[in-house]
Structure 1
Amino acid sequence: MIAKLDSSPLGIAVRIARIDWTSMSHDEGRRLREFGLLEGSEVTPLHRGSLFSRDPLALTIGRMKVIIRSKQAAAIEVEPATT
């Protein structure tokens, strides 16, 4: 089952299936690649923004914690991680 990263449940690891690089700027894409957000990577959404906003989204990639914008997370399709 494919879903978007911005709507993935918190605390549950998912695997990145596809990223729509055309929906973001070159600099945004470069930043996400530097963080290790690539097809096949496993990430775990940790928490979302504040009480009134879903932006930004904090997640773990390996041992690193990363914060991305909801717009960027919406461009990332994920599937359940096989553990």
Structure 2
Amino acid sequence: MFRHSKAMHLLQAGVNLIYIRDFLGHVDLKTTELYARADTETKRKAIENAYPDLIDNNLPDWGQDQALLSWLSELK
């Protein structure tokens, strides 16, 4: 579990998978790829980098919509 966590932290920090392979002592990169399964945040960042125009930066601040917040709190 510690090896997986360390590999994920290195990957999320932008460390190249080949360096992670060397750090973990793997001979084959395919072994390292098992540790490097991308989490949701990593996938989101990759999509944003690949398609910068896909995300609209002018999104409303939903935290200020009291009616919405009240409705959401009732869903418990």
Short-chain TM bin: under 0.3
**TM-score, L = length of structure 2:** 0.25
**Which protein shows a greater Rg?**
2
- Greater relative CO, 1 or 2 (CA 8 Å, sep 6+): 1
**TM-score, L = length of structure 1:** 0.24
Structure with the largest fraction of strand: 1
